[in-house]
Structures are given as structure tokens and as C-alpha cells.
Amino acid sequence: MCGRFSLTSSTEAMQSLFGFSERPNLAPRYNIAPTTNISAIRLEEGEEGHKPHHFFAHWGLIPSWAKSPEFSARMINARSETVAEKPAFRAAYKSRRCLIPANSFFEWQKTGKSTKQPWLIGIADMPLFAFAGLWESWISPDGEKIKSCTILTTTAAKSIEFIHPRMPVILDTSDHDAWLNGKGGEDLLKPFAADRMQFYEVSSRVGNVRNDDENLIEPTDKTGTQGRLF
């Protein structure tokens, strides 16, 4: 699964990689949690055709047919193996895809019956990347419009499966267009290359959503010489 991630890159770095023209006011976020608003990129039609567009979306998909947004916390992830068939995701999978920018994500390794060790996981040669995502637009009974999103997951890369059996779908930069325009499907929903993954143990402070500071992405002393990712 993917339940926490970080995004600390500058707006300029994101514009350069994803090609959007908007200039959102982005502060570094070291511990992004579900049900908060997060950055996303979708294709939007304009005078010059379809262009990447940055927008903010509630993390936790709210299907257009939902009666309320209450269950969105259970929709933060969509399993790639079933996303095309599940009623909550299939419409968005066909026509409302997005990229969700990130620098790293967190996962927890079971170390005992009631203990878990958090790890920070990223891509060694790709400090800014994108998860494969889906988005929806939901209108409340009183007319409020809420854009929401979910992150697709797949089986973990071999190098990190000891931490957790699942991981978010991470797209290579060359696959961004194919994902957004719907031409790429199941062939993109796969574990990322195991030899490009980089990871280390971090402080248990990341488990508290109120903590959001640079120290959360620092390796703990016992991680050896692997060093900090970003």
C-alpha cells in the first residue's frame, strides 16, 4: 500500500519534469497523509490541445455516485490488479488518470507482534517521480465540488519486499504521457525496477501525522552508510 509520502521539490523542478504551466504555492511536505489535499497532474484540453495541468485533490477517492465523502479514507489506494473492474475505480481508470508527484514514500516493516519499523523508500536515479493515480470530481447535495484521487499499488519490487509485500505504482518519466492519455494500461502497472530502489530506516516519529519536518527523512543511526536520499 501507500499511506504516507513526501514531496519537497520546488515548483520549478515540478514544472520542468511534468510540463504544467501553473505556479502553485507549494511548501515542502515531509509526511503527507491520507485525506489531505495533495498535488496531482492531469491532462486538460486547451486551445493547443491537451496539456498537463496541476491541481490539488483530496487524497482518498470519492466516486461520483457516492452519497457522501465519508469513506474516502478507505479509498487512498487502488489495487492495480482489479482497478479496471472495481465499481469505485473503473470509470476513473478509463478516463480520469493523473500523476501524483513524490520524492519518496514510507512503509512499515513488521518487527514483532506489535512493533513496526518505518522505512523511507525512493528511486536512486530519479529524486522526483510520479505515482500512477486516478481522480474524480464529486458534487455534494449542496453543490460543493470536491476533486479527489487515489494511488495505484502493485506487488513490491524484490529489493523491498522484505519491508512490505505491496508498493505504489511508480512510473518512469517516459511513461507519463502514455498513462495520462490512456494509451498505457496493464503494461505500466508493475513493480518498479528493484535495482533502482533506495531505502533506509527512519524515525518512528513519521507515524504521527502532526509531525512534518525535515528530520523525518533522515536515516537513523543504525542504517549504516547508505545515507540520506534527498
52/42 Cα distance (integer angstroms)? 6
The CB density around residue 158, as the number of other CB atoms within 10 Å, is 12
Distances (CA, A) of 39 to 14, 100, 127, 152, 212: 10, 6, 16, 15, 16
pLDDT digits (tens, 9 = 90+) for 36-90: 999 999 999 765 668 999 999 999 999 988 888 888 888 999 999 999 999 999 9
pLDDT digits (tens, 9 = 90+) for 134-181: 999 999 888 889 999 999 999 999 999 999 999 999 999 999 999 999
pLDDT digits (tens, 9 = 90+) for 86-132: 999 999 999 999 999 999 999 999 998 889 999 999 999 999 999 99
pLDDT digits (tens, 9 = 90+) for 186-217: 899 999 999 999 999 999 999 999 999 999 99
Catalytic residue ranges: 2, 107
Name the pLDDT band for 226 (thresholds 50, 70, 90): very low
In this structure, the strands spanning 116-123 and 104-110 are: antiparallel
Strand runs labelled E in the chain:
4-7, 29-32, 37-46, 49-59, 77-79, 97-102, 104-110, 116-123, 129-139, 145-155, 166-168, 170-171, 197-201
